[in-house]
Chain A
Protein backbone atom coordinates (compact mmCIF):
# COMPACT_ATOMS: atom_id res chain seq x y z
CA UNK A 1 0.00 0.00 0.00
CA UNK A 2 1.56 3.15 -1.09
CA UNK A 3 0.40 6.21 0.73
CA UNK A 4 1.44 8.45 -2.08
CA UNK A 5 -1.31 7.27 -4.24
CA UNK A 6 -4.15 7.62 -1.84
CA UNK A 7 -6.36 10.64 -1.78
CA UNK A 8 -6.19 12.64 1.39
CA UNK A 9 -9.53 11.62 2.80
CA UNK A 10 -8.54 8.02 2.56
CA UNK A 11 -5.28 8.70 4.29
CA UNK A 12 -7.16 10.33 7.10
CA UNK A 13 -9.57 7.46 7.32
CA UNK A 14 -6.74 4.94 7.41
CA UNK A 15 -4.92 6.88 10.08
CA UNK A 16 -8.06 7.08 12.14
CA UNK A 17 -8.73 3.38 11.82
CA UNK A 18 -5.23 2.54 12.91
CA UNK A 19 -5.59 4.90 15.83
CA UNK A 20 -8.86 3.42 16.94
CA UNK A 21 -7.60 -0.12 16.43
CA UNK A 22 -4.74 0.50 18.80
CA UNK A 23 -7.14 0.74 21.69
CA UNK A 24 -7.64 -2.99 21.51
CA UNK A 25 -4.42 -3.56 23.46
CA UNK A 26 -2.41 -3.04 20.29
CA UNK A 27 0.46 -0.64 20.94
CA UNK A 28 2.21 -2.16 17.95
CA UNK A 29 -0.53 -0.84 15.76
CA UNK A 30 0.04 2.60 17.21
CA UNK A 31 3.72 2.25 16.48
CA UNK A 32 2.96 1.37 12.88
CA UNK A 33 0.61 4.32 12.72
CA UNK A 34 3.25 6.71 13.99
CA UNK A 35 6.00 5.47 11.72
CA UNK A 36 3.89 5.21 8.65
CA UNK A 37 2.09 8.51 8.91
CA UNK A 38 4.96 10.50 10.34
CA UNK A 39 6.01 11.91 7.01
CA UNK A 40 2.46 12.62 6.05
CA UNK A 41 1.76 14.47 9.24
CA UNK A 42 4.92 16.42 9.84
CA UNK A 43 7.05 16.57 6.77
CA UNK A 44 4.68 17.10 3.94
CA UNK A 45 3.39 20.53 3.09
CA UNK A 46 0.07 21.27 4.65
CA UNK A 47 -3.22 20.11 3.28
CA UNK A 48 -6.67 20.09 4.73
CA UNK A 49 -6.66 16.78 6.46
CA UNK A 50 -3.16 17.07 7.72
CA UNK A 51 -4.14 18.65 10.99
CA UNK A 52 -6.32 15.76 11.94
CA UNK A 53 -3.72 13.26 10.85
CA UNK A 54 -1.26 15.07 13.05
CA UNK A 55 -3.56 14.74 16.03
CA UNK A 56 -3.98 11.05 15.47
CA UNK A 57 -0.29 10.50 15.10
CA UNK A 58 0.44 12.44 18.25
CA UNK A 59 -2.17 10.56 20.23
CA UNK A 60 -0.90 7.25 18.91
CA UNK A 61 2.59 8.20 19.99
CA UNK A 62 1.30 9.10 23.41
CA UNK A 63 -0.56 5.84 23.77
CA UNK A 64 2.48 3.98 22.61
CA UNK A 65 4.70 5.63 25.20
CA UNK A 66 2.19 4.82 27.87
CA UNK A 67 2.09 1.17 26.91
CA UNK A 68 5.86 0.97 26.71
CA UNK A 69 6.09 2.37 30.21
CA UNK A 70 3.52 -0.06 31.55
CA UNK A 71 5.10 -3.07 29.91
CA UNK A 72 8.62 -2.16 30.94
CA UNK A 73 7.51 -1.71 34.51
CA UNK A 74 5.66 -5.00 34.55
CA UNK A 75 8.54 -6.91 32.96
CA UNK A 76 11.04 -5.45 35.36
CA UNK A 77 8.88 -6.28 38.34
CA UNK A 78 8.23 -9.77 37.14
CA UNK A 79 11.82 -10.62 36.33
CA UNK A 80 13.01 -9.23 39.61
CA UNK A 81 10.47 -10.74 41.91
CA UNK A 82 9.80 -13.96 40.09
CA UNK A 83 11.75 -16.11 42.44
CA UNK A 84 10.27 -14.54 45.52
CA UNK A 85 6.71 -14.88 44.51
CA UNK A 86 6.90 -18.61 44.46
CA UNK A 87 3.74 -20.24 43.30
CA UNK A 88 2.06 -17.25 41.84
CA UNK A 89 5.10 -16.61 39.70
CA UNK A 90 5.10 -20.16 38.45
CA UNK A 91 1.49 -19.87 37.58
CA UNK A 92 2.20 -16.75 35.61
CA UNK A 93 5.28 -18.12 33.90
CA UNK A 94 5.26 -19.22 30.36
CA UNK A 95 8.79 -20.50 30.46
CA UNK A 96 10.75 -21.16 33.57
CA UNK A 97 14.49 -21.09 33.21
CA UNK A 98 16.38 -24.14 34.26
CA UNK A 99 19.06 -23.92 36.84
CA UNK A 100 18.13 -20.50 38.10
CA UNK A 101 15.83 -20.14 41.09
Chain B
Protein backbone atom coordinates (compact mmCIF):
# COMPACT_ATOMS: atom_id res chain seq x y z
CA UNK B 1 0.00 0.00 0.00
CA UNK B 2 1.69 3.10 -0.94
CA UNK B 3 1.56 6.31 0.79
CA UNK B 4 -0.84 7.80 -1.53
CA UNK B 5 -3.50 5.59 -0.37
CA UNK B 6 -6.05 7.76 0.58
CA UNK B 7 -7.80 5.36 2.31
CA UNK B 8 -8.73 6.87 5.11
CA UNK B 9 -11.29 8.88 5.06
CA UNK B 10 -12.90 11.19 6.82
CA UNK B 11 -14.93 10.13 9.28
CA UNK B 12 -17.74 12.01 10.05
CA UNK B 13 -19.16 10.70 12.75
CA UNK B 14 -21.87 11.70 14.30
CA UNK B 15 -22.29 9.75 17.10
CA UNK B 16 -25.49 10.53 18.27
CA UNK B 17 -27.23 8.45 20.63
CA UNK B 18 -30.80 8.87 20.56
CA UNK B 19 -32.82 7.84 23.33
CA UNK B 20 -35.32 5.33 22.77
CA UNK B 21 -38.50 6.14 24.29
CA UNK B 22 -40.08 3.41 26.01
CA UNK B 23 -42.89 2.02 24.24
CA UNK B 24 -45.75 2.72 26.25
CA UNK B 25 -46.84 -0.24 28.04
CA UNK B 26 -50.12 -0.45 29.68
CA UNK B 27 -49.55 -0.10 33.27
CA UNK B 28 -51.18 -2.54 35.39
CA UNK B 29 -52.56 -1.12 38.45
CA UNK B 30 -53.50 -3.64 40.91
CA UNK B 31 -55.66 -1.52 42.98
CA UNK B 32 -59.16 -1.99 42.25
CA UNK B 33 -60.30 1.39 42.84
CA UNK B 34 -60.54 3.27 40.22
CA UNK B 35 -60.70 5.50 38.40
CA UNK B 36 -62.60 6.45 35.62
CA UNK B 37 -62.75 3.73 33.18
CA UNK B 38 -61.14 5.82 30.59
CA UNK B 39 -57.82 4.69 30.34
CA UNK B 40 -56.61 7.54 29.49
CA UNK B 41 -54.15 9.35 30.80
CA UNK B 42 -52.04 10.27 28.09
CA UNK B 43 -48.81 9.08 29.18
CA UNK B 44 -46.24 11.56 29.22
CA UNK B 45 -43.86 9.77 27.18
CA UNK B 46 -45.60 9.29 24.55
CA UNK B 47 -48.57 9.50 23.70
CA UNK B 48 -50.82 7.00 23.11
CA UNK B 49 -49.72 3.78 23.01
CA UNK B 50 -51.25 0.79 22.31
CA UNK B 51 -54.29 2.48 22.02
CA UNK B 52 -56.51 0.06 23.14
CA UNK B 53 -54.80 -1.56 25.83
CA UNK B 54 -57.32 -1.59 28.45
CA UNK B 55 -56.20 -0.48 31.70
CA UNK B 56 -56.86 -3.25 33.92
CA UNK B 57 -57.92 -1.54 36.88
CA UNK B 58 -59.05 1.78 36.74
CA UNK B 59 -56.97 4.56 35.94
CA UNK B 60 -53.87 5.28 37.48
CA UNK B 61 -52.94 8.38 38.94
CA UNK B 62 -50.86 10.40 36.70
CA UNK B 63 -48.11 10.26 39.12
CA UNK B 64 -48.01 6.60 39.13
CA UNK B 65 -47.95 6.65 35.41
CA UNK B 66 -45.12 9.04 35.50
CA UNK B 67 -43.22 6.96 37.90
CA UNK B 68 -43.84 3.97 35.78
CA UNK B 69 -42.68 5.75 32.75
CA UNK B 70 -39.53 6.74 34.46
CA UNK B 71 -38.98 3.27 35.62
CA UNK B 72 -39.56 1.98 32.19
CA UNK B 73 -37.11 4.45 30.83
CA UNK B 74 -34.49 3.33 33.21
CA UNK B 75 -35.23 -0.27 32.65
CA UNK B 76 -34.84 0.12 28.97
CA UNK B 77 -31.85 2.27 29.48
CA UNK B 78 -29.97 -0.36 31.40
CA UNK B 79 -30.79 -3.01 28.88
CA UNK B 80 -29.65 -0.79 26.08
CA UNK B 81 -26.39 -0.14 27.80
CA UNK B 82 -25.72 -3.83 27.89
CA UNK B 83 -26.78 -4.18 24.29
CA UNK B 84 -24.17 -1.67 23.32
CA UNK B 85 -21.43 -2.91 25.59
CA UNK B 86 -21.18 -6.20 23.80
CA UNK B 87 -20.52 -4.93 20.29
CA UNK B 88 -18.22 -2.15 21.44
CA UNK B 89 -16.26 -4.63 23.53
CA UNK B 90 -16.08 -7.12 20.68
CA UNK B 91 -14.79 -4.48 18.31
CA UNK B 92 -12.15 -3.39 20.76
CA UNK B 93 -11.14 -6.96 21.51
CA UNK B 94 -10.67 -7.69 17.82
CA UNK B 95 -8.57 -4.58 17.35
CA UNK B 96 -6.42 -5.18 20.41
CA UNK B 97 -5.92 -8.85 19.57
CA UNK B 98 -4.81 -7.93 16.08
CA UNK B 99 -2.49 -5.20 17.26
CA UNK B 100 -0.85 -7.48 19.72
CA UNK B 101 -0.38 -10.37 17.38
CA UNK B 102 0.00 -9.02 13.87
CA UNK B 103 2.93 -6.68 13.80
CA UNK B 104 1.99 -5.17 10.48
CA UNK B 105 -0.39 -2.73 12.06
CA UNK B 106 2.17 -1.29 14.41
CA UNK B 107 5.00 -0.98 11.92
CA UNK B 108 5.52 2.52 10.82
CA UNK B 109 7.24 2.70 7.53
CA UNK B 110 6.84 6.33 6.90
CA UNK B 111 3.72 6.07 4.88
CA UNK B 112 1.05 8.41 5.85
CA UNK B 113 -2.33 9.31 4.60
CA UNK B 114 -2.59 12.28 2.38
CA UNK B 115 -4.82 13.79 5.00
CA UNK B 116 -1.94 13.99 7.39
CA UNK B 117 0.83 15.31 5.23
CA UNK B 118 3.08 16.70 7.90
CA UNK B 119 5.61 14.28 9.13
CA UNK B 120 6.36 13.71 12.74
CA UNK B 121 9.91 12.68 12.23
CA UNK B 122 11.29 15.97 13.31
CA UNK B 123 14.00 16.69 15.75
CA UNK B 124 12.38 19.14 18.03
CA UNK B 125 9.38 18.57 20.20
CA UNK B 126 7.84 21.88 19.29
CA UNK B 127 7.96 21.19 15.60
CA UNK B 128 6.50 17.77 16.09
CA UNK B 129 3.66 19.20 18.11
CA UNK B 130 3.06 21.83 15.49
CA UNK B 131 2.98 19.24 12.76
CA UNK B 132 0.52 17.09 14.60
CA UNK B 133 -1.75 20.03 15.21
CA UNK B 134 -1.57 20.94 11.54
CA UNK B 135 -2.36 17.38 10.56
CA UNK B 136 -5.34 17.46 12.84
CA UNK B 137 -6.60 20.68 11.39
CA UNK B 138 -6.39 19.26 7.91
CA UNK B 139 -8.10 16.04 8.88
CA UNK B 140 -10.90 17.76 10.74
CA UNK B 141 -11.51 20.18 7.95
CA UNK B 142 -11.72 17.35 5.49
CA UNK B 143 -14.23 15.70 7.75
CA UNK B 144 -16.25 18.87 8.13
CA UNK B 145 -16.32 19.37 4.39
CA UNK B 146 -17.42 15.82 3.81
CA UNK B 147 -20.13 16.09 6.41
CA UNK B 148 -21.47 19.28 4.94
CA UNK B 149 -21.32 17.75 1.50
CA UNK B 150 -23.33 14.82 2.72
CA UNK B 151 -25.89 17.03 4.41
CA UNK B 152 -26.28 19.03 1.23
CA UNK B 153 -26.70 15.88 -0.81
CA UNK B 154 -29.24 14.61 1.61
CA UNK B 155 -31.17 17.84 1.65
CA UNK B 156 -31.36 17.90 -2.10
CA UNK B 157 -32.36 14.28 -2.18
CA UNK B 158 -29.44 12.98 -4.16
CA UNK B 159 -30.03 9.58 -2.73
CA UNK B 160 -28.51 7.68 -5.57
CA UNK B 161 -25.23 9.44 -5.16
CA UNK B 162 -25.15 8.78 -1.46
CA UNK B 163 -26.04 5.16 -1.94
CA UNK B 164 -23.39 4.76 -4.56
CA UNK B 165 -20.84 6.35 -2.31
CA UNK B 166 -21.75 4.13 0.59
CA UNK B 167 -21.69 1.02 -1.55
CA UNK B 168 -18.29 1.92 -2.88
CA UNK B 169 -17.02 2.49 0.64
CA UNK B 170 -18.31 -0.77 1.92
CA UNK B 171 -16.94 -2.57 -1.10
CA UNK B 172 -13.54 -1.19 -0.37
CA UNK B 173 -13.71 -2.13 3.25
CA UNK B 174 -15.14 -5.55 2.78
CA UNK B 175 -12.89 -6.65 -0.03
CA UNK B 176 -9.66 -4.75 -0.09
CA UNK B 177 -9.05 -4.18 3.60
CA UNK B 178 -10.08 -7.64 4.60
CA UNK B 179 -7.82 -9.07 1.90
CA UNK B 180 -4.91 -7.14 3.35
CA UNK B 181 -5.86 -8.17 6.85
CA UNK B 182 -6.07 -11.83 5.91
CA UNK B 183 -2.73 -11.64 4.17
CA UNK B 184 -1.08 -10.16 7.20
CA UNK B 185 -2.60 -12.71 9.53
CA UNK B 186 -1.36 -15.54 7.34
CA UNK B 187 2.09 -14.06 7.20
CA UNK B 188 2.17 -13.67 10.95
CA UNK B 189 1.28 -17.28 11.53
CA UNK B 190 3.46 -18.49 8.69
CA UNK B 191 0.73 -20.38 6.95
CA UNK B 192 0.84 -21.27 3.30
CA UNK B 193 -2.19 -20.18 1.40
CA UNK B 194 -3.06 -20.28 -2.23
CA UNK B 195 -4.83 -17.75 -4.33
CA UNK B 196 -7.89 -19.81 -5.19
CA UNK B 197 -8.74 -20.45 -1.55
CA UNK B 198 -8.09 -16.89 -0.54
CA UNK B 199 -10.12 -15.72 -3.47
CA UNK B 200 -13.05 -17.86 -2.39
CA UNK B 201 -12.81 -16.69 1.20
CA UNK B 202 -12.66 -13.01 0.37
CA UNK B 203 -15.33 -13.28 -2.27
CA UNK B 204 -17.71 -15.03 0.10
CA UNK B 205 -16.96 -12.74 2.98
CA UNK B 206 -17.34 -9.62 0.91
CA UNK B 207 -20.40 -10.62 -1.08
CA UNK B 208 -22.36 -11.87 1.91
CA UNK B 209 -21.30 -8.74 3.77
CA UNK B 210 -22.61 -6.48 1.04
CA UNK B 211 -25.87 -8.40 0.97
CA UNK B 212 -26.30 -8.29 4.72
CA UNK B 213 -25.45 -4.70 5.18
CA UNK B 214 -27.09 -3.12 2.19
CA UNK B 215 -29.95 -5.41 1.55
CA UNK B 216 -31.56 -7.93 3.84
CA UNK B 217 -29.92 -10.37 6.09
CA UNK B 218 -30.07 -11.85 9.54
CA UNK B 219 -29.64 -9.23 12.20
CA UNK B 220 -26.81 -10.90 14.05
CA UNK B 221 -24.84 -11.37 10.89
CA UNK B 222 -25.32 -7.74 9.97
CA UNK B 223 -24.17 -6.68 13.41
CA UNK B 224 -21.15 -8.94 13.14
CA UNK B 225 -20.21 -7.49 9.79
CA UNK B 226 -20.55 -3.94 11.07
CA UNK B 227 -18.30 -4.77 13.99
CA UNK B 228 -15.75 -6.33 11.66
CA UNK B 229 -15.66 -3.40 9.30
CA UNK B 230 -15.34 -0.98 12.19
CA UNK B 231 -12.42 -2.98 13.48
CA UNK B 232 -10.78 -3.03 10.04
CA UNK B 233 -11.17 0.69 9.70
CA UNK B 234 -9.79 1.30 13.15
CA UNK B 235 -6.77 -0.86 12.31
CA UNK B 236 -6.09 1.12 9.20
CA UNK B 237 -6.28 4.33 11.17
CA UNK B 238 -3.93 3.00 13.77
CA UNK B 239 -1.44 2.03 11.14
CA UNK B 240 -1.47 5.15 9.10
CA UNK B 241 -1.87 7.96 11.56
CA UNK B 242 1.33 9.22 13.09
CA UNK B 243 1.60 9.01 16.84
CA UNK B 244 0.92 12.43 18.16
CA UNK B 245 -1.46 13.29 15.37
CA UNK B 246 -3.62 10.37 16.33
CA UNK B 247 -4.09 11.60 19.85
CA UNK B 248 -4.74 15.16 18.82
CA UNK B 249 -7.17 13.97 16.17
CA UNK B 250 -9.06 11.92 18.71
CA UNK B 251 -9.45 14.94 20.91
CA UNK B 252 -10.43 17.21 18.07
CA UNK B 253 -12.96 14.76 16.70
CA UNK B 254 -14.73 14.59 20.04
CA UNK B 255 -15.02 18.33 20.13
CA UNK B 256 -16.23 18.39 16.56
CA UNK B 257 -18.77 15.74 17.35
CA UNK B 258 -20.06 17.69 20.29
CA UNK B 259 -20.40 20.80 18.19
CA UNK B 260 -21.87 19.12 15.17
CA UNK B 261 -24.57 17.27 16.99
CA UNK B 262 -25.62 19.79 19.57
CA UNK B 263 -25.34 23.15 17.88
CA UNK B 264 -28.47 24.19 16.11
CA UNK B 265 -26.68 24.70 12.85
CA UNK B 266 -24.43 21.72 13.23
CA UNK B 267 -24.37 19.57 10.13
CA UNK B 268 -25.13 16.39 11.94
CA UNK B 269 -28.00 17.87 13.75
CA UNK B 270 -29.42 19.20 10.54
CA UNK B 271 -29.08 15.82 9.00
CA UNK B 272 -30.87 14.21 11.88
CA UNK B 273 -33.65 16.70 11.76
CA UNK B 274 -34.07 16.42 8.02
CA UNK B 275 -34.24 12.70 8.30
CA UNK B 276 -36.80 13.00 11.03
CA UNK B 277 -38.94 15.38 9.09
CA UNK B 278 -38.97 13.13 6.15
CA UNK B 279 -39.54 10.12 8.29
CA UNK B 280 -37.02 8.15 6.37
CA UNK B 281 -34.83 5.28 7.32
CA UNK B 282 -31.27 5.97 7.63
CA UNK B 283 -28.79 4.64 5.19
CA UNK B 284 -27.51 1.23 5.96
CA UNK B 285 -23.89 0.64 6.69
CA UNK B 286 -23.63 3.65 8.86
CA UNK B 287 -25.40 2.67 11.97
CA UNK B 288 -25.21 -0.26 14.24
CA UNK B 289 -28.57 -1.14 15.60
CA UNK B 290 -29.01 -3.59 18.33
CA UNK B 291 -32.47 -4.62 17.43
CA UNK B 292 -34.47 -4.24 14.37
CA UNK B 293 -37.72 -2.59 14.67
CA UNK B 294 -40.42 -3.47 12.38
CA UNK B 295 -43.10 -1.04 11.67
CA UNK B 296 -45.92 -1.91 9.57
CA UNK B 297 -46.24 1.35 7.85
CA UNK B 298 -47.65 3.23 10.70
CA UNK B 299 -48.79 6.52 9.60
CA UNK B 300 -47.89 8.05 12.82
CA UNK B 301 -45.48 10.77 12.00
CA UNK B 302 -43.82 10.46 15.27
CA UNK B 303 -42.74 7.03 14.55
CA UNK B 304 -39.37 7.93 13.51
CA UNK B 305 -38.08 5.69 15.86
CA UNK B 306 -36.75 3.35 13.74
CA UNK B 307 -35.08 5.51 11.69
CA UNK B 308 -31.66 5.15 12.45
CA UNK B 309 -30.38 8.43 12.66
CA UNK B 310 -28.87 9.01 9.52
CA UNK B 311 -25.66 9.96 9.92
CA UNK B 312 -23.70 12.37 8.93
CA UNK B 313 -21.31 12.21 6.45
CA UNK B 314 -20.01 9.02 5.60
CA UNK B 315 -16.83 8.95 7.03
CA UNK B 316 -14.92 8.04 4.24
CA UNK B 317 -14.60 10.20 1.55
CA UNK B 318 -15.09 8.45 -1.45
CA UNK B 319 -13.09 10.67 -3.51
CA UNK B 320 -10.44 8.36 -3.99
CA UNK B 321 -12.49 5.79 -5.38
CA UNK B 322 -10.79 2.97 -3.92
CA UNK B 323 -10.89 4.02 -0.60
CA UNK B 324 -14.05 4.75 0.72
CA UNK B 325 -14.89 2.95 3.68
CA UNK B 326 -18.21 2.83 4.95
CA UNK B 327 -18.26 5.60 7.23
CA UNK B 328 -19.79 4.86 10.30
CA UNK B 329 -21.73 7.54 11.23
CA UNK B 330 -21.88 8.11 14.62
CA UNK B 331 -25.30 8.68 14.68
CA UNK B 332 -26.86 6.42 16.87
CA UNK B 333 -30.24 6.63 17.84
CA UNK B 334 -32.06 4.31 19.84
CA UNK B 335 -35.21 3.99 18.14
CA UNK B 336 -37.76 5.83 19.78
CA UNK B 337 -40.58 3.81 20.45
CA UNK B 338 -43.26 6.09 19.73
CA UNK B 339 -46.54 5.06 20.86
CA UNK B 340 -49.37 4.37 18.70
CA UNK B 341 -47.66 1.83 16.73
CA UNK B 342 -49.21 -1.25 17.77
CA UNK B 343 -47.19 -3.37 15.56
CA UNK B 344 -43.97 -1.99 16.67
CA UNK B 345 -41.83 -4.21 18.63
CA UNK B 346 -41.35 -3.38 22.17
CA UNK B 347 -37.72 -3.68 22.14
CA UNK B 348 -36.45 -1.06 19.99
CA UNK B 349 -32.93 -1.33 20.65
CA UNK B 350 -30.30 1.27 20.54
CA UNK B 351 -28.43 2.53 17.59
CA UNK B 352 -24.87 3.67 17.66
CA UNK B 353 -23.00 5.09 14.75
CA UNK B 354 -20.15 3.10 13.35
CA UNK B 355 -17.87 6.09 13.70
CA UNK B 356 -18.13 5.71 17.41
CA UNK B 357 -17.05 2.13 17.21
CA UNK B 358 -14.14 3.07 15.07
CA UNK B 359 -12.82 5.84 17.23
CA UNK B 360 -13.24 3.91 20.44
CA UNK B 361 -11.29 1.09 18.90
CA UNK B 362 -8.64 3.48 17.62
CA UNK B 363 -8.14 4.79 21.11
CA UNK B 364 -7.89 1.38 22.70
CA UNK B 365 -5.80 0.04 19.86
CA UNK B 366 -3.31 2.85 20.13
CA UNK B 367 -3.17 2.31 23.87
CA UNK B 368 -2.38 -1.33 23.18
CA UNK B 369 0.16 -0.50 20.53
CA UNK B 370 2.08 2.19 22.31
CA UNK B 371 1.21 1.82 25.93
CA UNK B 372 3.73 0.03 27.96
CA UNK B 373 1.66 -2.80 29.21
CA UNK B 374 -1.81 -4.16 29.59
CA UNK B 375 -2.76 -1.84 32.42
CA UNK B 376 -3.00 1.05 30.04
CA UNK B 377 -5.11 -0.88 27.58
CA UNK B 378 -7.48 -2.08 30.24
CA UNK B 379 -7.75 1.36 31.76
CA UNK B 380 -8.71 2.85 28.40
CA UNK B 381 -11.18 0.09 27.79
CA UNK B 382 -12.88 0.67 31.12
CA UNK B 383 -12.85 4.42 30.55
CA UNK B 384 -14.62 4.07 27.25
CA UNK B 385 -17.28 1.82 28.67
CA UNK B 386 -17.86 4.21 31.53
CA UNK B 387 -18.16 7.03 29.04
CA UNK B 388 -20.66 5.02 27.05
CA UNK B 389 -22.74 4.37 30.15
CA UNK B 390 -22.79 8.00 31.01
CA UNK B 391 -23.72 8.96 27.50
CA UNK B 392 -26.60 6.54 27.53
CA UNK B 393 -27.68 7.89 30.86
CA UNK B 394 -27.72 11.36 29.42
CA UNK B 395 -29.64 9.99 26.54
CA UNK B 396 -32.25 8.66 28.89
CA UNK B 397 -32.53 12.06 30.44
CA UNK B 398 -32.50 14.24 27.38
CA UNK B 399 -34.15 11.95 24.90
CA UNK B 400 -32.63 13.31 21.78
CA UNK B 401 -29.68 12.64 19.57
CA UNK B 402 -26.47 12.95 21.48
CA UNK B 403 -22.86 12.69 20.50
CA UNK B 404 -21.36 9.52 21.84
CA UNK B 405 -17.73 10.40 21.36
CA UNK B 406 -16.90 13.25 23.68
CA UNK B 407 -17.36 11.73 27.09
CA UNK B 408 -15.81 8.39 26.26
CA UNK B 409 -12.88 9.79 24.37
CA UNK B 410 -12.17 12.32 27.08
CA UNK B 411 -12.15 9.67 29.73
CA UNK B 412 -10.12 7.43 27.50
CA UNK B 413 -7.50 10.06 26.84
CA UNK B 414 -7.30 11.05 30.49
CA UNK B 415 -6.95 7.46 31.58
CA UNK B 416 -4.40 6.68 28.91
CA UNK B 417 -2.07 9.49 29.72
CA UNK B 418 -2.44 9.23 33.45
CA UNK B 419 -1.99 5.47 33.48
CA UNK B 420 0.94 5.52 31.18
CA UNK B 421 2.78 8.34 32.80
CA UNK B 422 1.68 8.30 36.40
CA UNK B 423 0.14 5.07 37.48
CA UNK B 424 2.47 2.67 35.79
CA UNK B 425 5.73 4.10 37.02
CA UNK B 426 4.14 4.27 40.43
CA UNK B 427 3.17 0.61 40.32
CA UNK B 428 6.55 -0.37 38.98
CA UNK B 429 8.22 1.54 41.73
CA UNK B 430 6.08 -0.09 44.36
CA UNK B 431 6.83 -3.49 42.92
CA UNK B 432 10.52 -2.73 42.88
CA UNK B 433 10.50 -1.91 46.50
CA UNK B 434 8.24 -4.80 47.33
CA UNK B 435 5.78 -2.49 48.90
CA UNK B 436 2.28 -3.79 48.59
CA UNK B 437 -0.69 -1.63 49.08
Contact = CB atoms under 8 A, between A and B. Distances in A.
Given A24-B207, A25-B200, A26-B208, A94 B294 contact: no
B197 A95 contact: no
B219 A2 contact: yes
Contacts of B191: 95, 97
B126 to A, nearest CB: 43
A93 B211 contact: no
Lowest 10 A-B CB distances belong to which pairs?
Answer: A28-B204, A5-B294, A95-B186, A97-B190, A92-B194, A94-B193, A94-B198, A1-B216, A36-B218, A28-B208
A97 B192 contact: yes
Contacts of A28: 204-205, 207-208
A58 interface: no
B175 to A, nearest CB: 14
A95 B208 CA distance: 24
A96 interface: yes
Contacts of A97: 190-192
Contacts of B204: 25-29
Contacts of B200: 25, 71
A1 B207 contact: no
Interface residues of A, number: 30
Interface centre among B187, B195, B200 (most CB of A within 10 A): B200
A48 interface: no
Given A1-B216, A26-B204, A78 B294 contact: no
A82 B203 contact: no
Nearest to B218: A36
Interface in A55-101: 71, 74-75, 78-79, 82, 89, 92-100
B218 A82 contact: no
B292 interface: yes
Contact of A14 (B186, B205, B216, B222): B216
B208 A29 contact: yes
A26 B187 CA distance: 26
Interface of B: 183, 186-187, 190-198, 200, 203-205, 207-208, 211-212, 216-219, 221-222, 292, 294, 296, 343, 345
Interface centre among B183, B194, B343, B345 (most CB of A within 10 A): B194
Given A14-B216, A32-B218, A93 B194 contact: yes
A95 B292 contact: no
Contacts of B203: 25-26
Interface of A: 1-2, 5, 14, 21, 24-29, 32, 35-36, 71, 74-75, 78-79, 82, 89, 92-100
A96 B192 contact: yes
B223 to A, nearest CB: 11
A71 B203 CA distance: 14
Given A29-B208, A95-B183, A2 B292 contact: yes
B196 A1 contact: no
Interface centre among A1, A29, A32, A95 (most CB of B within 10 A): A95
Contacts of A98: 190
Contacts of B197: 71, 74-75, 78, 94
